[in-house]
Structure 1
Amino acid sequence: MPHLSVPGAELYYEAEGPASAPAVLLIHAGIASLRMWDCLVPTLVEDHYVVRFDTRGFGQTRTEDVTFSDRTDALDVLDHLGVQRACVVGSSRGGRIGLDLALEAPDRITGVVTVGSTPSGLPDVELTDAEDAAFDSIDDAYAQQDWPRVVELETRLWAIAPTRDAATLDPDFVSTAYALNRPNAGHRPEAPIAAPADPTAYEAINDLQVPLLATVGEFDLSPELAAQAFLVSALSRAEGYIFSDTAHLPSVEHPDEFNAVLRGWLTKHGL
C-alpha cells in the first residue's frame, strides 16, 4: 500500500487515471477517509488524474503527535506524484483545507469545490438545541475515551443529522456512513496539532483567484449551511449548489447527482 514519508507521519494515498490529464485532489470529511470517494473515482478517472489521501488522524495514515500543516501534507502528496497544479474537491474539513491551500499556494490550485465546509476563521454560528445536545453527547464520550461511541455519535450527528430519522433513509447509505467512520476510532487517541492558516480563509476570501463551487446538503448543520451561504455571497464569481434530501455526505448519499454537478462545473471551467 502506498505511503509517503513526511515529517512525523506516513501518509496513505491513492492516485488513478492518466497522469497527463487535469489533476483533481480529493480531501475527505472528518467522519470518513479517502474511501468516501469510491463512488466518484471510476467516472472521474475517465478524463482526470485523481489523487486522494488520508489526512492525519484518519484511515490508513500513521502520525506522531507533532505540529504539522495540513496544507503542506497535501502539497507533499502532489509533489511526490509530480502534480504541479490541481483542482481541490474537499468534503467538510477537506474543503476548509482546500480553501486554505488555494490561498496559501495559489500557483498550485486551479479551482476549489467545498462540500459542507466552513472556511477557517468563520465566526461561530449559533447551533440549534438538537445540534448542541448532540455535540454535548460527543464531548461526554470523548471525556470517557469511549472511542467507538464517539465515532457512532459523530456519524449520527453529521451523516444522519438531527432533523432526520435514520429509519427513513436508504439502509445501504446508513450502513456505509457508519462503516466509513468506524475505522477512525483507533485514531482518536492521537494528538497531532494542525497549524492554523494565517491569514484565515474568512479573512482572506477576497484574495481567492480561482473558481469556487460551494455546496452543502439541505439537512447539514447550521454552521455548514451558513458557511455555504457566506462563500457564495462573498465572491461574485463563486457558484453554489444545495443538494436536496441529504446532510453532510451528499457525495456518498447521492453519488449520481454529485457526479453530475461536479463534472458539469469542471467542464464549464475547463478543469
Structure 2
Amino acid sequence: MPAVTLADGDLNYLLEGPAGAPVLVLSNSLGTDLHMWDEQIPAFTEQFRVLRYDTRGHGQSLVSEGPYSIEQLGRDVLALLDALDIVKASFCGLSMGGLIGQWLAINAPQRIERLVLCNTAAKIGSPEVWNPRIDTVLAGGAQAMRDLRDASISRWFTAEFAEAQPAKVDPIVGMLAQTSPAGYAANCAAVRDADYREQLGSIVAPTLVVCGDADPVTTTEHGRFMQEHIRGAELVEFHAAHLSNVEAGELFTRRVLDFLTA
C-alpha cells in the first residue's frame, strides 16, 4: 500500500475513486484500521475520491513513542492532505476518528468541506476508564490485545448482530487483536485527554452526527450534545452499537452519502 513519509515514520493510506471527484477522508476507530470502511467503499467511490488511512499506531502506519494527542493525529491528517495536494476535503470519522474530525473542524476549518461525526463524543470516557486499560495493555502485550478483542465484541456490536453476522464481525474484531499494544495505549491516551465540549460552537462546517441506539460507549445523548452545540448540525440514529457503519451497513452508507452530496 502507498504511504506518506512523516517526520517520524510512514502513514499508510489508500486513495480510491475517480480522479477529479471531491475528496472524502475516512478515519478509523480506536483498535481498527482503514479496512473498517470496506463496506462503504463501493458506494462512496461512485461519487468521491476516497482517502482512508491507518491512524498512527494502527494497521501498517508508524508506531511512534506515546502518549499521542488528538492534535498530533489531526496534524497527521493535514500532512497527508498536503502530501497529496488536497486543499479541502469532507471528513468522516468514527469514535476516535470523530475526535480527530472535531479537532480538524475547530483548528483547520478552511480544510473541511463537510463533517460526519460517527459514534463519538466531545469527550469520551474518563481517566478512570482509560488509565487501567493503558496499564493492562502495556503490561500484557499481545495477549492483552487478544483479551480486549473478546471483550470488545459486546461494545462494538449488538448481541443479535454478532450472532447473526460472524463473517462481518470477526474481521473487524480481528483488527484489534493485530493492533500494536504500544500504539493502542498511546492512542488511548489521546482519546482520554481530548475534550472539545467548550469548542464545538466554533465549528462552521455542515455537520452530520451519527449515533447507535445501542452504543454503550458514545450514547445518543453524547450525539445530541454535539448536535446542540454545532450550529445547524443534523443527527441520525441507527439500530447499532458502537460500529454503526458495519452494523447499519447500507442504511449508514446511504444516509451519509445523502448528507455529503446535499
Query: Contact 1:31–1:181 (CA<8 Å) still a contact in 2?
Result: yes
Which residue of 2 is the match for residue 93 of structure 1? 96
Q: 1:118 aligns with which of 118, 121, 141?
A: 121
Identity of aligned residues (%): 26
Partner amino acid for 1:152? R
In 2: Cα distance, 1:187 partner to 1:55 partner: 13
Match of 1:105 in 2: 108
Secondary structure at 1:251 match in 2: helix
Work out the CA distance in 2 between the residues paired with 1:218 and 1:136.
27
- The match for 2:144 is 149
Indicate the residue corresponding to 2:31 in structure 1: 31
The one-letter code sitting in structure 1 at the alignment partner of 2:199 is: A
Q: How does 1:147-226 map to 2 (within 5 A)?
A: 147-150=142-145, 151-153=148-150, 155-160=152-157, 164=159, 168-185=163-180, 187-188=182-183, 191=186, 194=190, 200-226=195-221
Q: Is the 1:57–1:63 Cα contact (8 Å) retained in structure 2? A: yes
* 1:63 CA drift (Å): 2.7
Return the alpha-carbon distance in structure 2 between the equivalents of residues 195 and 257 of structure 1.
28
* Partner SS, residue 5 of structure 1: strand
Cα separation, 1, equivalents of 2:177 and 2:99: 23
Residues 31 and 155 in structure 1, CA contact (< 8 A), matched pair in contact too: no
Aligned to 2:48: 48
Aligned to 1:14, the other structure's residue is in SS state: strand
Q: Deviations over 1:138-195 (max 9, x none)?
A: 567436414343331452243136xx36764422222133223222145557747759
Pair 1:73-2:76 in alignment: yes
Q: TM-score, normalised by structure 2?
A: 0.85
TM-score between the two structures when normalised by the length of structure 1: 0.82
**Structure 1 CA distance, aligned partners of 2:260 and 2:110?**
18
More moved, 165-174 vs 106-115: 165-174
CA contact (8 A) 1:9 1:56 kept: no
Q: Is 1:260 aligned with 2:254?
A: yes
The size of the alignment, in residue pairs, is 255
Shift of 1:20: 1.2
Give the partner amino acid of 1:237: G
Q: Which has the higher helix share?
A: 2
CA distance, structure 2, for counterparts of residue 103 and residue 189 of structure 1: 25
Q: Which moved more, 1:218-227 or 1:45-54?
A: 218-227
Q: Distance in 1 between matches of 2:152 and 2:191?
A: 26
Aligned partner of 1:238 in structure 2 is 233
Deviation of residue 235 (structure 1)?
Answer: 3.1
Write the distance in 2 (CA, Å) between the matches of 1:22 and 1:107. Answer: 15
Shift of the alpha carbon at 1:4? 1.1
Q: Give me the whole-angstrom Cα distance separating, in 2, the residues matched to 1:34 and 1:255.
A: 16
* RMSD, aligned α-carbons: 3.0
Tell me: CA distance 1:253–1:197, structure 2 relative to 1, closer, same or farther (3 Å). same
Aligned equivalents of 1:195, 1:186: Cα separation in 2: 15
Once residues 187 and 100 of structure 1 are traced to their aligned partners in structure 2, the CA distance between those partners, rounded to angstroms, is 23
CA drift at 1:80: 1.1
Is the CA contact (8 Å cut-off) linking 2:63 and 2:182 kept in structure 1?
A: no
Q: Is the 8 A contact 1:137 1:153 kept in 2?
A: no
Call closer, same or farther: CA 1:59–1:222 in 2, change over 3 Å: closer
